[in-house]
Structure 1
């Protein structure tokens, strides 16, 4: 217990130090996010959250001796995705270039882990569905999906950090209870690296003067870390949860990304086109504050992850868990499809209530 306290405290302190060092450097070299177009924040905000998180995690793993061999590959893949994100923050790279780089990093991840999504579980009640080598391209798709899911949902202060925190805590619980104790440390190390970032990002430290953003480097690092741990937790010989449970752990970012991409393609638009149609944007248009939207979305993610965890340990059949997830996704997609009608209804309802109170 004492060793774990030292481990997690070290991660927290190192990430905090990295933030203090990188804030002035970011202003000096221009690694800042300036308000324009869809970005409505005040002032130039350093995009150093991801670099700080990776620095804290990487140095901690090195100091404590990298207990798992694949942690070297994690640092290689994580460092590469952070570097890609920094270049994207500076140069606004094309979608094709980003996807190609993510594919290469995904391939290195598969090689380093010696794992891929080769078993989908008993999804149709006739035994486990084994994919063999067909699981390799599916894994590459999953890597790209996870990376971009967290990248796309990083739209209001604290959201990507809090949602990834829900995923990492869920992974820690399931890996710990499921006997993967040696792997359960990494997600908690990531949680303690996220805490300093959230303190600055949510203005709990510095009151505006020390505000930072995660940047593409951070959101992509988080997505890579989540899929890395999901594959270890569901596909290794010591797997601690079923593949279908992974959907629940990453439910909100995944559902938001897929629903938005489907909606864009129906309109004849690029699925990677930036817009203001995500769940957090909708909550803001309904009149909620950024902090209220953060609490609601994080609560939703926590509820869905809890359903997944409970379903895992009650051994609810894979098919039932999959169908329930698809029902949730269908409801989510329908809500987005008719969101403008829902929004108008809520606004009219509020207006009528105000009129009654103040005739």
Structure 2
């Protein structure tokens, strides 16, 4: 336990130092986010959160020389994703180029570790659903989906970091209880790397003068890390939880991305077209400030992840957990699509009741 605490403290300190070092560098080289269009923050904000989080994790893993071979592949893939994100923050790369690099990173993960989604569990109560080699393209799609889900949800201060924290803590708990103790270290190391970022991003430290953003480098790194851990947790020889539980662990980012992309496709738009229709945007337009929206969405994410974890340990049948997830997603998607109609109806009902 003492050794683990040392790992976590080291990660925290390295990440914190990296932030202090990178803020002036980012301002000098122009790695900043300037307010324009959909971006309504005040002043130029350094886009260094992802770089600093990765630095903290990478140096900690390298310093202590953790024996898991998977960590070296993780640092390779994570480094490529962070580099892609930095270039995207600088040059606003095309969607096609980002997808190609994400696909290559997914392929490196699959073929480097020899690990992919080959079994979906007993989803239909008829026995395990085996994907065989179809699992390889399925995994590549899952990698791209997870990376972009966290990238898309990174729209208000702290949101991507808090969503990641919910996923990492859930995975740590299940891996720890399920016997994957060595693998359980990585998500907790990520949590301690995220804490310094959140302190600056949420203005707990610096009070505006030290504010930083995650950047595409950070949100894509989080997405990669989450799907990486979910595949290890559900598909390796020492798997500690079921594939259906993985959906609950990333429920909010996943549902938000799918619902928004389906809406864009129905409108004849590109599914990757940027807009202000995400869940956090709707809360802001309803009158909540960004901190209130963060609390509500994080609480919702915690609730769904808790349902997944409890379902895992009570061994609720996969089919029931799947049907429940689809019901939640359907309600979420409908609510997101008809939110203003719902709000007007509620206000009419409220006015009628008060009258």
Tell me if both proteins adopt one fold, taking TM over 0.5 as the criterion: yes
Q: Deviations over 1:241-269 (max 9, x none)?
A: 00000000000000000000000000000
Match of 1:315 in 2: 315
2:5 corresponding residue in structure 1: 5
How do 1:1-359 residues align onto structure 2 when only pairs under 5 Å count? 1-345=1-345, 352=351
Instruction: Mark the CA change 1:5 to 1:27 in structure 2 (over 3 Å): closer, same or farther.
Output: same
Distance 1:349 1:181 in 2: 52
CA distance in 2, matches of 1:173, 1:291: 27
Provide the C-alpha distance between the structure 1 equivalents of 2:346 and 2:116, rounded to a whole number of angstroms. Answer: 45
- CA offset at residue 347 of structure 1? 5.8
State the shift of 1:4 in Å: 1.0
State how far apart, in whole Å, the 2-side matches of 1:280 and 1:187 are: 25
Structure 1 residue 194 displacement after superposition: 0.2
Moved segments of 4+, more than 6 Å: none
Deviation at 1:345, TM superposition (A): 3.9
> 2-side partners of 1:346 and 1:82: how far apart?
44
Give the structure-1-normalised TM-score: 0.97
* Structure 1, 30-39 or 58-67: larger mean CA deviation: 58-67
User: CA separation in 2, counterparts of 1:272 and 1:334?
Assistant: 20
- Measure the CA separation in 2 of the matches of 1:204 and 1:344: 36
Deviation at 1:343, TM superposition (A): 3.2
Unmatched segments (≥5 aa) in structure 2: none
Instruction: Compute the RMSD of aligned alpha carbons.
Output: 1.3
**Distance in 1 separating the partners of 2:290 and 2:8:** 29
Whether contact under 8 Å (1:66, 1:72) holds in the other structure is no
**Structure 1 residues 283, 133: CA separation in 2 closer, same or farther (over 3 Å shift)?**
same
Number of residue pairs matched by the alignment: 354
Return the TM-score normalized by structure 2: 0.98
